Structures are given as structure tokens and as C-alpha cells.
Amino acid sequence: MKNFNIIDLFEEEELTETSNGEYNTICPSCGLQGGRTQGFHLFPDTNMAYCHSTGKNFNILETAALKLKIINCVEGRDSGEKGTPLKGELFTQTLDLIKEKYGEDFYYNLAEGLGLNIIEKFMDIEYDKDGSILKKTISIDKVADYIISKHNIKTVEGTKDESIYIYEDGIWTRKGRGLITAETEKLLRSAARNNIVKEILEKIKRKTKEDKEDFDIEPSNLTCYNNGVLDFNDIENIKFIPHDKKYNFKTKIPVTYKKDADCPLIKKFIKETFYECDVPQVQEWIGFHNLKPYLFKKAVICTGPKNTGKTVFLNLLSRYVGEKNIAGLSLQKISQGKTFDLLTLKNKFANIHDDLSSKDLFDGGGFKMAVGDGEITGEHKFGDYERFRNTAKMTFACNKIPPVKEVDDDAYFDRWLIWIIEKVVPSEERDTDLINKLTTEEELSGLLNWGLNGLSRLFKEKSFSNERTSEENKDMMVQNSNTLAKFAAERLRFAAGEKITKDDMYNLYCDFCNEQIPKLAPVTKRKVGDNLHNIASYILDSREGKYRYWGNVKWVECSDVSDAPQNNMRNILGNDKNIIYNISPCVTSVTENKTNKKHGNTIKRKKSAREVQFLEAKECQNIKANCTVEEVLDWIKSNPGKTITDFYAALGDGSFKFLAELIKANKVKQENNMLELIA
């Protein structure tokens, strides 16, 4: 006998070793009978046992039967007695229970050590007319049927490389090929030659065929977890149901559902990391990951300096969703839309990418398709093309948001939830083990419950809390990705007739970049010259002799809400899309009714600071794109007493250049927001 011993039938704490290397324990059958506390003696060298209470002897198989309560100790053998109490069904029952309790390796080694020829049950035997055995051969069908009866196996057609799945712990995993070969090796031992194993594998594949389209169907309202399934069919009455292979789940969230679990450490971390107005979005975003379908067309980008908790949050989300359920494509790769890359998104709960590059996006179309519940084409390596709907919720983190070339793409900017994370944790306060403290089983179970509350609110309101408009997102993202835009928004203001030389402006810009925490890298002087008047269209690119300067602009020492571009330019320029505005990440809001375009119902939505301050901007929606200097003069002459807001609403933002020139030439004057011709 090899690789097993009689003492392996007992737990270590059940055994007391004697001085001669033998062991005493309590008899598995009679316990303390006979007044002995250690009434059962084990002999490891011979794999025998002796019960002091009954005076009976047992071999290893009979001892196992005692442990499994199949026989009792009075049924053992006297010294020198042959035979065994394990006969017929008792023998088979003992072997089956040994395999179940002690594992297959122990079972097969025991069978081999006892000289049991278990391989014969998988053989076809030919006899002659006298009943003598002529030939024994391995029965491929018997082995295949045995393995199929023991495991849930499906072989999925529809791909060039057929995939063999097995069902375990609530999900179907692509481990079938390895399991079948290992199982065949255990059953047949030395008879498991390569050609036999291959034939058995092919036989099982043919017997377990499943159409790929059928196998890919999973109930969209159900999600699998460690200990069961949550049914989201009624979001206000979520049900917890048992695992079932019929659901065809390929993945699960590795969290244990506990109805009353809480996550105090995670809540504390989120409260300390995010702005208060963003916390409801964070809760809803975590809850959103419990559903596979991408029902809300949003993605998250966390931006801010290093050591602010961005990476810890992404790691927390990753451990909650499960590493196997996550893709890691960058925003640039998603936008490029290469089929090999995009296939990694299939059947994932999340796409999480930390430390996003600030490299420009030339096209946001691939991103919009991934977030917009559209079909994506992926390509298997050396295999088929496949169309699928993306389910991976997009979460990114960066120090600087990558700019997109097409800045007028409202659909792109509308898809973002932007979280500004800027509280830097001092080095002496950083906890290198924080992520492990946040991701204990109890904390993650609590996070599931907390997220489900957010998910319920998300469905009730049919939008994320405190959503910004696409224009506000654009302003924030352009400023974040463009140091010149940030500079113009925070330090430059419209001032008719005032000017700053180009050398002074560039020096002010460089100083501004150097003052930021962390410091920003300024662009070249040439790029400032090429782009500043495009970023802030009220600025005029002018020259007087050999001096070049920027006109209609003044410098302010620091960003002040009362002096922000919303206050001194919105009233002037209406909806000029070339102006970059300084948007606070958290704003005081009022409530208005708004029709949600995606769902067609009326919900309550908080107005942004910009909307609160500039309700009159709604009157300037249909301004013309351009005009002439003659039209400017005619309008002012024909509309005495009209405000400058009326002027831009009538003539459009292109009229600004001409008005500035007329004011400079003393042909028009502006006083108290009123325009008047100078005689």
C-alpha cells in the first residue's frame, strides 16, 4: 500500500501518539465504552486498528467503515480470524463514501493498495464458448458515461475551437478539457494511454453538445454571487434565490450576500475621499455594477493629484466585482475600437483602468458605442468575429483628463460622471494595508447592501444624482486636460479696451502653471498665441507697431465666483461655445422638473449653478452665427434702450468682434449694460 495510512482517517486533534510511534484515539463506534478514554489503538506500520472495548481488529477499510458509521466495533474480527464484515453492498457503500469524504486520490490509492481492480468496471470483456475470458478492452462509452454522470458538462459549438464547460459553484467554467483528462487518468491509471484519453474526450464532446446561441443566453435580471442569486426583476423587491445550472451563468460577483451586513470602514473611506455631492453617485455607481445590462449611458472618470485615494477606490471596486469580471482597456484603446481589444469586454461587469494617459482622443465614437448599449464586434485570435453588447461599466482614473479632438460632440461629454478627488493624504497618514481592511468578507457584503440601496434610487429617479449637463462636463474636462483653458477660466476676464502684451500674458500663464498643486506643464508660447483667442473668444489678437498684445482682457489675481466667467461673460455672450467656464465640482442647487429623454417621464432634477445664475440665457438659444459691422450699427440705432444681452441674442456671437472695434473707435459706448451710438 502507498500514499495513504490509517491515521489519515482521523483529524490530528483526535490522535495521541505513543512512545513507540503508534496512536491512541476514541473508538469511532463505541466512544468511551469499557471506561477507557483512549479505547482505540492504531498501528500505522500495518494499517490495522484494535478496539479495547470489544477486543476486535480492523483493517484500514473496516476502520473507515467504522468512521462512516457503516458498521460498529462489535462486528470486527478476532485475532487470527479471516474474512471481513464488509461484503456486497456494504463494501461498495464503504468505497463510495470513502471517495466522497476523503477525496479521489485517497480512494484510488486505497483501492490500488488493497488490490481492488476498479478498472474492470470500465472494460468490455470477451468470452469464449466455455466462458473463459478472451480479451479485455477499455470501454470508451463506459468511461465517458461515468464522467458525464459525475459532472455537469457542456461542449459549446459555434467556435472554431470548441469549448468544454463544467458547472461548479453556481457558474459554468471553461475547465472541462482539463477535468476530463485528469478524471480519465485517475480512473484508468496505467491504462490511460494518450489515444484512449483522446477518444474519451471526443466521445464526451459529442455526447454533451450545446448550441452556442442557446448557451450564451443568461437571464438579464439575475446576478450570481458566492452563495446564491439575486433576482432584480422587481428592483423594489429584490429576491435571493439558490444557484441553478439552468441560468447558464459564466461569471459571478465574488461577494457573499448577507441581508444585514454593513460596511462602516468603506463608508468612512468614501466620505473622506469624495465631495459630499458626489457620494450618492458613488453609491449608485457601485450598485449599478450588480446588473449586467448597461442600462444607463454613463461612465466615470476620477481625476485629481496623486495620493488622494483614486487607486484605492479602483482597487476596492475591482475586488468587489472580481478580477475575473474586469477588463482593463484604456479610454484610448476603446476609442480606437480594435476588434482584438474590444473582445476582452465581453461578459464583463466592469472595465477599470487606472492612471489613464493624457494622450489625445482623435475619435470618441468607440467609447460612445461601448457605453451606449450598442453592439460591438470583437475578434477571437485565429478565430471568428463575434458581435456582442457591452456590459462592462467604464471607470477610469487620471491626473489629467485626455482631451478629445471633437469638442462639439455633446453625446461624448453627456456620457460622463466626473469625480474630482483632490484631498491629498499626507505620507504619515497613509495606510499601506487600507485596501485589505476595506475588502474583508463582511465589508464587501455590506458594500453589496449599500450599493443595492443606491441602485434602487437610481432606478426610481431614472438618472444618477446631481448629474451635470453635457456642457458642464465639457467645460470641466477641457479645463482639466488643457492648462491654457484652465488659466483662461480662472485668471482672465473680459474688459473692453484693456490689453495685456503677449510676453506678459505668457509669463502670467507660466506662473499660473507653476502655482498649481501639482505643478502643471505649460505649453509653448507659440501654442498660446495660436489658441488663446479660440479658447476665450472675447480676446482680440492685436498689434500696435512692433508690439503685439491681447485686447479686451484683464488679469485677476485669483478665481472668484463673483467674478467668474459665468457672471461677466454669460450675460454678454449668451451660449458662446468657445468660452471655457470654471465649474465648481459641487454646487448649491435648486430643483426643477425635467423630462428625461431616455425614459419619457418627468423627474425632479437639481439645477446647476450656471442655470441658477443665468436663467435668461434660455432666451439666447437661436442666435445667428455671424453678422457685419453695418448690421451692428443699424441694430444699435434701431433699438435704443436695449441691453447688450438683447444685442447678442439678435446678432450672434460673431458680432462681438465688430462691437469691440466700434467701442475702441469711440463710435459706440457701453454703459450699465446698455449700448448707445456716439454722435
Q: How far apart are CA 40 and CA 491, in angstroms?
A: 89
Torsion angle defined by CA atoms of residues 603, 609, 610 and 611, in that order, rounded to the nearest 10 degrees: 30
pLDDT for res 256: 97
Fold of the domain spanning 6-116: DNA Primase; Chain A (3.90.580)
Average pLDDT over residues 297-306: 90
**DSSP code of 678?**
-
Backbone angles phi, psi at 53, to 5 degrees: -70, -40
464 pLDDT exceeds 50?
A: yes
Provide the 3-class DSSP secondary structure of residue 552. strand
The CATH code of the domain at 264-472 is: 3.40.50.300
Asked if residue 246 has pLDDT above 60, the reply is yes
- pLDDT at residue number 467: 92
Q: How far apart are CA 394 and CA 391, in angstroms?
A: 9
Place of cell 476514541: 26
Q: Shortest CA distance to 570 belongs to which of 470, 471, 484?
A: 471
Grid coordinates representing 125 are: 470483456
> CATH 3.90.580 region(s) of the chain?
6-116
Instruction: List, as one string, the DSSP characters of 162-182.
Output: -EEEEEETTEEES-HHHHHHH
Percent of the chain at pLDDT > 90 equals 34
CATH 3.40.50.300 segments of the chain: 264-472
- Residue 430 has a CB neighbour count (10 Å cut-off) of 11
Q: What is the pLDDT of residues 390-412, one digit of tens each?
A: 999 999 998 878 777 666 778 88
The pLDDT tens digits for 535-553 are 787 888 888 777 888 988 9
- What are the cell numbers at 658? 465688430
* pLDDT of residue 344 exceeding 80: yes
Q: Indicate if the pLDDT at residue 674 is higher than 80.
A: no
Residues 469-527: tens digit of each pLDDT: 988 888 788 777 778 888 888 889 888 888 899 989 999 989 988 887 667 778 888 88
Tell me what pLDDT residue 194 has.
93
pLDDT in tens, 109-146: 777 667 666 677 788 878 777 777 788 888 999 999 98
Q: CA 25 to CA 19: how far, in whole Å?
A: 14
> Residues 201-230: pLDDT tens digits?
999 999 999 988 899 899 999 999 999 999
CA dist 401 and 365 (Å) reads 17
Average pLDDT of the chain to the nearest whole number: 81
According to the model, what pLDDT value does residue 34 have? 38
**Contact, 550 vs 532, CB < 8 A?**
yes
Per-residue model confidence (pLDDT) at position 190: 82
pLDDT tens digits for range 595-643? 444 444 444 444 433 333 333 333 333 333 356 777 788 888 888 877 7
360-374, 538-552, 577-591: segment of lowest average pLDDT: 577-591
Cα atoms in the 13 Å half-sphere on the side-chain side of 487: 27
pLDDT band at 592 (very low <50, low <70, confident <90, very high): very low
Where does the pLDDT of residue 591 fall: very low under 50, low under 70, confident under 90, or very high at 90 and above? very low
pLDDT greater than 70 at residue 577: no
Strand order in 163-168's β-sheet?
A: 171-173, 163-168, 153-156, 209-210
User: Among the listed ranges 41-50, 63-72, 147-156, 606-615, which one has the minimum average pLDDT value?
Assistant: 606-615
SS3 of 57-120: EEEHHHHHHHHCCCCCHHHCECCCCCCCCCCCHHHHHHHHHHHHHHCHHHHHHHHHHCCCCHHH
pLDDT tens, residue by residue, 137-171: 889 999 999 899 889 999 997 655 689 999 999 99
Q: Quick one: DSSP state of residue 115? A: T
